[in-house]
Chains A and B, each alone.
Chain A
Amino acid sequence: MLQAPPGTRIRRSPLATLGGAVLRGLAEVGQVALMLAAALRWVLRGRLEMRETAVQINRIGAESIPVVLVTGAFSGMVLAFQTARQLADFGGQGFVGGLVGLSMAREAAPVFTAIAAAGRVGAGMAAEIGTMAVTEQIDALRVLATDPVRYLVVPRLAAAAVGLPILTAFANVVGGTGGYFVATAAGISSGAFISSLQRFLWPYDLVVGLIKAVFFGLIIAAVGCYRGLNATGGADGVGRATTGAVVISIVLILVCNYFLDLVFF
């Protein structure tokens, strides 16, 4: 697109380099927006590839559940470990359960789950679709009168939008459980932990966490698919598409997380 052909090395002023990067970034945002608009048109027409979507949901679940369970459990455990120690100094043991639950539901579960999924699911999408792109399979889809957005992108967007909240819910459960065990081991009574959890954690917090997860899922799938579809240049290009997809989606997840917090809390 806007890239100079490989091998060209032109000395440019820093300002021109920065400007070029900004323009490239904006062009890419535009391309992603066009892809999402095309995807939305297929959804609105009710033309979902049910089988492909089911395959993708299954794959997201199967690929990510182990890593999500581990990251979720340890997030809850470290939160409990730190808060139990700090709050104990101020006699605030009664807040530990609430703090762990609230932190998990609002931030830790959705964000860490999304980051783990970006590494597995987003990278997988970019690699798979990227391989299809550099081996002419995307062209083959198009000449077989099958829009790649409809056949590949929409199912992955749908699967990620459904899968991420489910994974986040899992992370909440294991995080809370992990936190419970660490807190009780640190001398906080089981009853204190649970009543504090009940007092501070409202359904609203859980729901917002899950809504955030939907957005993160869409980011992961959109970036992964876009990078894959635009991969060029053989195995090397697929590799670049994959790493690019992971880095960009993690950055976007964190930025988006901040702005979603501004909206919801």
Chain B
Amino acid sequence: MTESQPSSRPGDAIVVASDLWKSFGGSAALSGVSLEVRRGEIQVIMGPSGCGKSVLLKHLVGLVRPDRGEVLVFGHPIHAMSDHELDSVRVRIGVVFQSAALFDSLTVEQNVAFPMRRHSNLSREEIARRVRELLDRVEMAGTEDLMPSALSGGMRKRVGIARALALDPPLILYDEPTSGLDPLTAHTVDGLILRLRAELEVTSVVVTHSLDSAFHLADRLAVMDSGRLTAVGTPDEILGSADPFVRRFLDTRAVEVKPS
């Protein structure tokens, strides 16, 4: 991992979003959101559908520009850079999309190889080896020649994660990594996210509406409600929060099944 000019020390904030405002066609998606994500931590953003958490995530990689406010990632002003300038930052950010967003005209191998073919000087053989490693890491070895349409939802997500990891990004953004998955597969994907943090020391931002995933993964949690962060803190702080919305959101976990 090569650090470019504005470097950051351990414990530093990798992502700093300050006072983000965004509306689409008159309806507000973000109303003054500020968030810091520290190096090496898993920051979970949770909230109900449509609260703006995915929009917030898209701001962090420049897919959506704020109407007002700033986003710094590795110290780069994402909100103000052109798409062309952004490319040098984007190669250091892995994004796992809600729908996995695999290219459906390419095989699994070509999907995972895509970032390396375009942004590295690795030889064909090196890329093929690295693709095997990555697929192995997400427990998808042997699927190289399949088309994405032949994969189940959980398998696609895992290939999507492998593709996001291809360039060794120090920051990974996950958009609803476990939505639409059965509990068992969801648990596997959560385990994978934790393992990646432990083994590669990546910083992660996870957007989810699943309380289970949120508390399973989070070093720090942010609870979002209609375009605002109502509470930010460690999972314990969130559990102890007196904020009425946070309480209401936590109470939805009425039928709790504790793993023994």
List the B residue with the shortest CB-CB distance to A128.
B105
CA of A143 to CA of B95, assembled, Å: 7
Residues of B within 8 A of A143 (CB): 61, 63, 90, 93, 95
CB nearest to A149 among chain B residues? B83
* Residue contact B83 to A140, C-beta cutoff 8 Å: no
For A1, give the chain B residue with the smallest CB separation.
Answer: B25
CB <8 Å contact, B104 and A137:
yes
Q: Are A145 and B103 in contact (CB under 8 A)?
A: no
Among A4, A5, A140, A146, contact of B101 (Cβ-Cβ < 8 Å): A140
- Contact, CB under 8 Å: B119 / A142: no
Given the contacts A135-B101, A136-B97, A136-B101, A142 and B83 also touching, CB distance less than 8 Å: yes
Instruction: Flag A150-181 by CB within 8 Å of B: 1 or 0 each.
Output: 00000000000000000000000000000000
Closest to B118 in A: A146
B102: chain A residues at CB < 8 Å are 137, 140
- Least distance between A244 CB and chain B CB atoms (Å): 20
Does B69 count as interface, using CB distance less than 8 angstroms?
no
Is A139 interfacial (CB 8 A cutoff)? yes
Q: Which of A4, A137, A142, A144 contacts B115 (CB 8 A)?
A: A144
Give Cα A145 to B98, complex, Å: 19
Q: Are B61 and A144 in contact (CB under 8 A)?
A: no
How many chain B residues touch A (Cβ–Cβ < 8 Å)? 28
Assess the A139–B63 pair: CB atoms within 8 A.
yes
Which residues from chain B contact A140 at a C-beta distance below 8 Å?
Answer: 95, 97, 101-103
A28 in contact (CB, < 8 A): no
Q: CB within 8 Å of A: which of B111-133?
A: 114-115, 118-119
Hey, which chain B residues are within 8 Å of A136, CB to CB? 97-99, 101
Contact of A137 among B83, B93, B103 (CB under 8 A): B103
Using Cβ atoms and an 8 Å threshold, which residues of chain B touch A131? 104
- State how many residues of chain A have any CB contact under 8 Å with chain B: 18
Query: Is B87 positioned at the interface, with any CB of A under 8 Å from its CB?
Result: yes
User: Chain B residues with Cβ under 8 A from A4's Cβ?
Assistant: 25
- Nearest B residue to A55 by beta-carbon distance? B105
Q: Is B91 an interface residue (CB 8 A)?
A: yes
Distance, CA A132 to CA B102, complexed state (A): 9
CA distance A163 to B136 in the complex (A): 42
CB distance from A20 to the nearest CB of B (A): 15
* Minimum C-beta distance from B78 to chain A (A): 12
Contact present for A5 and B99 (CB under 8 Å)? no
Cβ of B63 to closest chain A Cβ, rounded Å? 5
| Interface 1/0 per residue, B21-37 and A, CB below 8 Å | 00001110000000000
Please determine whether B63 and A142 come into contact, CB atoms closer than 8 angstroms. Answer: yes
From B84, B101, B163, residue with most partner A Cβ within 10 Å: B101
Beta-carbon contacts under 8 Å, A104-121 to B: none
Report the Cα distance A45→B90, complex, angstroms: 22
Complex alpha-carbon distance, A128 and B104, angstroms = 10
Q: How far is the CA of A141 from the CA of B103 in the complex (A)?
A: 9
Within 8 A of A (CB), among B60-101: 61, 63, 83-84, 86-88, 90-91, 93, 95, 97-99, 101
Q: Is the CB of B101 within 8 A of A137?
A: yes
Measured between beta carbons, the chain A residues less than 8 angstroms from B104 are 131, 135, 137
CB pair A145–B118 under 8 Å, yes or no, is: yes
Question: Which B residues are CB-close (under 8 A) to A146?
Answer: 118
| B118, A144: Cβ atoms closer than 8 Å | yes
Question: In the complex, what distance in Å separates the CA atom of A146 from the CA atom of B84?
Answer: 9
Q: Which residue of A lies closest to B119 (CB)?
A: A145
Chain B residues positioned under 8 Å from A137 (CB to CB): 101-104
Cβ contacts A to B, 29 pairs, < 8 Å: A3-B25, A5-B25, A128-B105, A136-B98, A136-B99, A137-B101, A137-B103, A139-B95, A139-B97, A139-B101, A140-B95, A140-B97, A140-B101, A141-B103, A142-B63, A142-B90, A143-B61, A143-B63, A144-B90, A144-B114, A144-B118, A144-B119, A145-B86, A145-B87, A145-B119, A146-B118, A147-B83, A147-B84, A147-B87
Beyond the given A145-B88, A145-B91, please list 7 additional residue pairs across the A-B interface where CB-CB is below 8 A: A3-B25, A5-B27, A136-B98, A141-B103, A144-B90, A145-B118, A145-B119
Closest 7 CB pairs of A and B: A145-B87, A136-B101, A140-B101, A143-B95, A145-B90, A136-B97, A145-B91
